[in-house]
Amino acid sequence: MTSIIGRAALFSRAAHQAVGQRRKYTGEPYHEHPAAVAALVESAGGTPFMVAAAYLHDVVEDTAVTVDDIAREFGPEIAGHVFELTDQFSDPAIGNRERRKALGRDRLACIHPDSQAIKYADLIDNTSSIVERDPGFAQVYLAEKRELLSVMCHGDQALWRRAWGLMIEGEAKVRAARPGGSDD
């Protein structure tokens, strides 16, 4: 496991385990999420740097690791992807959720196409879990991600179509789960 991908997988796992991070809805070890994102990116033909960045995409956001740490360990290209994928607008002082998500959407619309492809894979992995386990929040989440995908459209087109399809499928599931199963 001396490849850049193997090193990124180990680094991600260790960083997320060091803070005891678990998936919100399932309680499974958090490192399984970046591994799933990396597998999606790899299956879509992503470069080794993209796959490594997919493993690391949440490390800066969720742990004490910095972008500088990523750059020292993995180089500027991977660190650049991780930086682009790290939420820059999570501080509530910036504004309410709607304002923060709008700022994030505008920023993500302009990131590198390879970073956008990683973000599509992230959305794909998160969407099913949210729709299945939290239909109330899923309504908000799916609307936000639909808006995001409408402007963030320069990455891998197969992953983009898959993410878009999951948004539509998720919206149908959420509508069906409402009392009466309709839009009324």
Q: What is the spatial distance between Cα 97 and Cα 16, in angstroms, rounded to a whole number?
A: 25
Cα separation, 184 vs 171, in Å, equals 14
Burial class (CB in 10 A: 0-12, 13-18, 19+), 148: buried
Could you tell me if residue 32 is left (phi over 0), alpha (psi between -120 and 50 degrees) or otherwise beta? alpha
- CA pair distance 79, 57, nearest whole angstrom: 9
Active-site residues, by number, are 61-62
* 133-138, Cβ contacts within 8 angstroms, sequence gap of 24 or more: 133/25, 133/26, 134/25, 135/173, 135/174, 135/177, 135/178, 138/170, 138/173, 138/174
| Sign of torsion over alpha carbons 19, 91, 122, 156 | negative
